[in-house]
Amino acid sequence: WAGILIRSFLLQKYVRSFLQNDRLHKIIYTLFIDDSLKNVKAANDHGIKGIHFQGADNLRLQVQAIGIHLQ
């Protein structure tokens, strides 16, 4: 998982680095969680799965809904 707190232009740079560096995890294995819906939409627009953080209980449900099982 990669945690990022960035603006859209930095997100583009981050995405490019994933695409260019084959030693990093593939971008499909990246999950972006942020309390700003604007940032989550930017992540989604760049091919990164984004979840809008709206509290711990909601986050747990959303993460489990995409197939990540938490203990």
Global pTM value? 0.62
Residue 1 clears pLDDT 60, i.e. is over it: no
Residues in contact with 39: Cβ distance below 8 Å, sequence separation at least 6, in sequence order: 5, 6, 7, 11, 32, 50
Helix/strand/coil for 11: helix
Residues in contact with 1: Cβ distance below 8 Å, sequence separation at least 6, in sequence order: 29, 30, 31
The boundaries of the domain holding residue 38 are 8-65
In a domain, 2, yes or no: no
In a domain, 36, yes or no: yes
Residue with tokens 């938490």: 70
pLDDT digits (tens, 9 = 90+) for 29-42: 778 898 989 888 88
Residue with tokens 């091919």: 47
> What is the total count of domains within the chain?
1
Q: What is the pLDDT of residue 70?
A: 78
In a domain, 46, yes or no: yes
